[in-house]
Amino acid sequence: MRNRLIKSLVVLLLTATSLQASAARYTYTSQVFRQNQTSDGQLFDFIINNAPLADLVDGSLYIRARGDFSEDSNIENMVVNIDDATQGNASPWDGGSIVESYHFDVVEWSQEFVLSGSDLVSWTNDQKIVITLDLSEDVEYNLFADGFTKLYPPFVEATLVYETSVIPLPTATWLFLSGLIGILGYGRKRKST
C-alpha cells in the first residue's frame, strides 16, 4: 500500500511539473530588419525564417523609418503587409510617432501594429514570415541637392515581437532526468525487498 502511494505521488509530481513547464512563456523577437532607401517609392521585403509557432497571444510589429514623410501629408506613407495580409498604412500623420524632425519634409518616426494571436498562428505555421513595406511613389529618395540624403540616409526598419509557449531545454532535461532517476530508484528498491 505504501509503495503504491509513493508511486502515485511521484507520478502526480511529474505531471504537475510537466504542466507547469508547458505553460512557460517565451517572447520571440525577430532580428531588426533595416534597409536604406535607394529609390523613390521602394518595396522592401523582410523574411523571417525559423519563426517559432505562435500561441494565441497578440504580438506587435514595430516600424521605424526616416525619409521624405511630411508630418501632415496623407500621400507620403507605406503599406504594411505580413504574408500578403494588409495591416494598414503607416506614416507619421496616421498613427505614427515622430522621433525627430530634421526638416518639414524629412522626419524619423515609428509606429506599432498590434497583431492578433490567430493571425500569428496562421503566419507561423510554415515557420516563415514575410514582412513587406511598400513606400508610396511620393516618398522620394533624393531629398535635397545639398547632400541631406548622405547626411541622413532614408531607411525603413521592422521588428516582430510575439509570445509563444515553449518548454525550455533546461526544464525538459530536468523532467527527463528526474523521471529516469525516480524510475531507477523505484526499481532498485523493489528488487531489494
Cα gap 111→159, rounded to integer Å: 11
**pLDDT, position 154:** 93
Place of cell 523505484: 186
Confirm if 59 and 120 have CB atoms less than 8 A apart: yes
**pLDDT, position 73:** 73
Cα gap 83→35, rounded to integer Å: 19
Cβ contacts of residue 108 below 8 Å, gap of 6+?
64, 65, 66, 98, 99, 100, 101, 102
CB atoms within 10 A of CB 39: 11
Q: What is the residue-level pLDDT of the chain in tens, covering all 193 positions?
A: 556 656 655 555 565 555 554 557 789 999 999 999 999 999 999 999 999 998 888 899 999 999 988 766 778 999 999 999 999 999 998 889 999 988 777 889 999 999 999 999 999 999 999 999 999 999 988 876 556 777 888 999 999 999 987 654 555 665 666 776 777 666 666 666 6
The candidate with the shortest Cα–Cα distance to 113, out of 73, 79, 139, is 79
Cα gap 136→80, rounded to integer Å: 11
Cα gap 162→55, rounded to integer Å: 9
Cβ contacts of residue 36 below 8 Å, gap of 6+?
153, 154, 155
